[in-house]
A and B are shown apart, each in its own frame.
Chain A
Amino acid sequence: MAERTLMERLFEPAQIGHMPVGTKIVVYSLLLFWTAFVLFPIYWVFITSFKSAVDVNSGPVYLPFIDFKPSLHAWKELFVFDWEDTLKAYTNSIIISLFATALSVLIGSMAAYALARIEYAPKFGSILIFVLSMIAAFVGVGVYGVDWRLACAVAVAVFFFLIKALGRFYAARLGNGDILFWMISQRILAPVVVVVPIYMMFQSVGLLDTHLAIILTYAVVNLPIVIWLMYDFFKSIPIELEESAQLDGATRLLTFFDIVLPLSKAGLAATTLLVMILAWNEYLLALFLSTSKAQTMPILVAAMNAGERGILWWNMSVVIVVMIIPVVVMAIILQRFIAKGMLLGAVKG
């Protein structure tokens, strides 16, 4: 072998699968730099939660016990003096994200399974009639002040009447792909597009500021993600298993819950984790739909921006730290699944 120059020895592999020293140094320093970039803001929030107001306002101090004396006053304030508010927000967050995730994953995976395995063919004309009668009902309620129950009843009646009357005259049908696209495309809707009508809707049925309202909204907002990821998962399961189960006389529901779901554990785990993170962290919809009783943690974070006294950085940091811990623990345990689940969705999507 010819004599290797210094550059070659540093950057060109001597054999396959071996990483030369120079490359190693570059790779590790880049990775460590990014680790620092990722961890530093979190570290800063963490130590800020132990700082006193003076420490925060007098300029940066970096190391607890060396630069400044850590104090528990912010933690005390949230967990002793404001214990009730903190506990309420925390339990609200837990209840809402758990139920919203469960609902979303259940309904979403059922729909995804149906779209993956059953042929649907709704008529295009019927959908058009449905949309038109809905718009008519809305104009009636919104512009002419008709009672909404009456308007809904009339719209439904008109819809069925028109389907019966006109159903023979159109034949164009949509397929599963169209339904899937329609459901997934709901994710494009920014919350601000739909939040005002949702607010009015919950107001009119008296559900504003309740867990139910936020749970339902979160479940629907995340439904497209569940359907997208789970559809690909179900598609990847060999159909023979289900066919043999059905030959043995199992119903569709039984096949789904006893055979298909256990086979897609990895996908379910990834989807559940992802939806739960999104529900746990959501701010805008919660801001609209809750005023006091159903407040979630992100609202509590924002509440630390206390107007004339400025931002109470120390209290806010405590709330953020408390919010981060459960998701990080959960995600570290489940992160293998996330990558797999998302990859499947992305590869086939």
Chain B
Amino acid sequence: MSDNATSARAGISSPEASLTLRVRFSEWIDRHSRQLFITPAVVMILIFSIFPLVASLIIAFSRIRLRGGGYSVRFVGFDNFSKQIFGSEQFHFLGTFAPISALGWVFGLGVLGLVLFWLFKYATAKFTVLGFLGRVITASMAVGLAFMFAATLLSGKPFGTLGTTLFYVFVGCGIQFLIGLGLAFLCSQPIRGRNFFRVVFFIPMMITPIGVGYAFRMMADTTKGPFSPLWKWVGWGDFTWATDPWAARIFIVVADSWQWIPFIFIVLLAALENVPRDFVEAAQVDGASSREIFFDITWPQIVPVAATVMLIRVIEAFKIVDLPNIMTSGGPGIATESMSLHSLFAWRSLDLGQSSAVAYLLLFVTVVTCVSFFNLIVVGRMRANG
């Protein structure tokens, strides 16, 4: 590129050479620079994201059979989706439904009431059609999910890949945020060896997820793993975590946290270091306690960063696939299967329609969650702060 640049510079400094081919070429480039700058990115995204997205949509609405050398496509409408939500795959995607227990009713109706109250408040305060529609979508998904958990988890039945994915996303990201913030706060204190901790805490993010998966499988081994004496001492020597749904899920969250806390940590640490020292010192002079300083001065300054970093993290967390695949292959049963993994398994059994349908459902849940998070929390905060 520098070659190109120097030739252009030569063209500028010597007008007598302005008719050479090179200069005419660089003039052409200059005239079309608007398009030249952005076209490569647009074309690449069109070919590798939008084409596949549309193709996936078509696959999701059809049944594909592979036959010697080729394949046949038959349009089946919403079959693939309704199979996941109402049909034979319901146990897999949503969970095994039971009659809703009393606790389930309390929870489901509680969420419904809260959501209706929230919608009512919005509709009476400031009403725009688009804003209301968006909130209705968010609200109906919240209620749907609440009743799904009410009919499965709270009624003593296992939930499916949707519930597992949401568990990874919300529990995992919540833990990661708290620990990441805590570590960043500790590292922002005047301590020795700050650079050492910063580098060490950052390392896990660079390790391939598949390596993390296998490393934690070794960690978790209760008979040959490094902590097996500890397990034996506690009396859980023959407890295999991979056969207990909740132990397996929690272990995957631990591994996921180990890998992703560094990301949250490093960004929040940079944000904390950006908080002007004068503010904090002035408050200290005025005799504010450290808790007051944190919640009244530091926290409001880092909220925008925190919201964005969590948005990125939540987007990535919905895609979790390597860890459950490596650590448990989705087992026991389907207890640790995320939606990405569900789709991958469907693909492996050559059921392309189901695979795409699950992938699209994942896309829908992700988009609704992330857009809600962004519009309701991030933008709301920005407005509140001016």
Contact A42/B215 with A250-B12, A343-B267 known, Cβ cut-off 8 Å: yes
Contact A192/B210 with A31-B191, A201-B52, A339-B269 known, Cβ cut-off 8 Å: no
The minimal Cβ–Cβ distance linking A322 to chain B, given in whole angstroms, is 10
Give A57 to B12 CA distance when docked, in angstroms.
72
A193 engages B363 (CB within 8 Å): yes
Contact A38/B204 with A30-B186, A201-B52, A343-B305 known, Cβ cut-off 8 Å: yes
Give A131 to B183 CA distance when docked, in angstroms.
47
- Is B45 close to A, CB under 8 A? yes
Contact A342/B52 with A192-B359, A251-B26, A251-B29 known, Cβ cut-off 8 Å: no
A301: chain B residues at CB < 8 Å are 208, 210-211, 214
Of residues A187, A221, A343, which shows the largest number of chain B Cβ atoms within 10 Å of its Cβ? A343
B211: chain A residues at CB < 8 Å are 45, 298, 301, 320, 323-324
B49 engages A254 (CB within 8 Å): no
**Proximity string of chain A (210-243) to chain B, C-beta cutoff 8 Å, 1 when within and 0 when not:** 0000001101110100010000000000000000
* Interface of A: prevailing SS: helix
The minimal Cβ–Cβ distance linking B219 to chain A, given in whole angstroms, is 6
- Is B69 close to A, CB under 8 A? no
The minimal Cβ–Cβ distance linking A139 to chain B, given in whole angstroms, is 7
* Interface of B: prevailing SS: helix
A188 engages B206 (CB within 8 Å): no
- Is A302 close to B, CB under 8 A? yes
Query: B207's contact among A42, A131, A191, A284, by CB below 8 Å, is which?
Result: A42
Contact A220/B49 with A188-B367, A188-B370, A339-B270 known, Cβ cut-off 8 Å: yes
A284 engages B321 (CB within 8 Å): yes
Contact A342/B266 with A27-B191, A192-B359, A254-B8 known, Cβ cut-off 8 Å: yes
Give A297 to B362 CA distance when docked, in angstroms.
28
**Residue ranges of B at the interface with A (Cβ–Cβ < 8 Å):** 1-2, 4-5, 8-9, 12, 26, 29-30, 33-34, 36-38, 40-42, 44-45, 47-56, 58-59, 62, 73, 75, 182-183, 186-187, 189-191, 197-212, 214-216, 218-219, 223-229, 258, 266-267, 269-271, 274, 281, 284-285, 304-305, 308-309, 312, 315, 318-319, 321-322, 326, 339-340, 343-344, 347, 352, 355-356, 359-360, 362-363, 366-367, 370
Q: A27-B191, A179-B38, A252-B37 are in contact. List 9 more A-B contacts (CB 8 A).
A: A44-B226, A142-B62, A142-B73, A194-B53, A201-B51, A220-B44, A251-B33, A342-B266, A347-B308
**Residue ranges of A at the interface with B (Cβ–Cβ < 8 Å):** 16-17, 19, 24, 27-28, 30-31, 34-35, 37-42, 44-45, 48, 56-60, 62, 107-108, 110-111, 113-115, 118, 120, 131, 134-135, 138-139, 142-143, 179, 183, 186-198, 200-201, 216-217, 219-221, 223, 227, 248-254, 256-258, 277, 280-281, 283-284, 297-298, 301-302, 311, 313, 316, 320, 323-324, 327-328, 331-332, 335, 338-340, 342-343, 345-347, 349
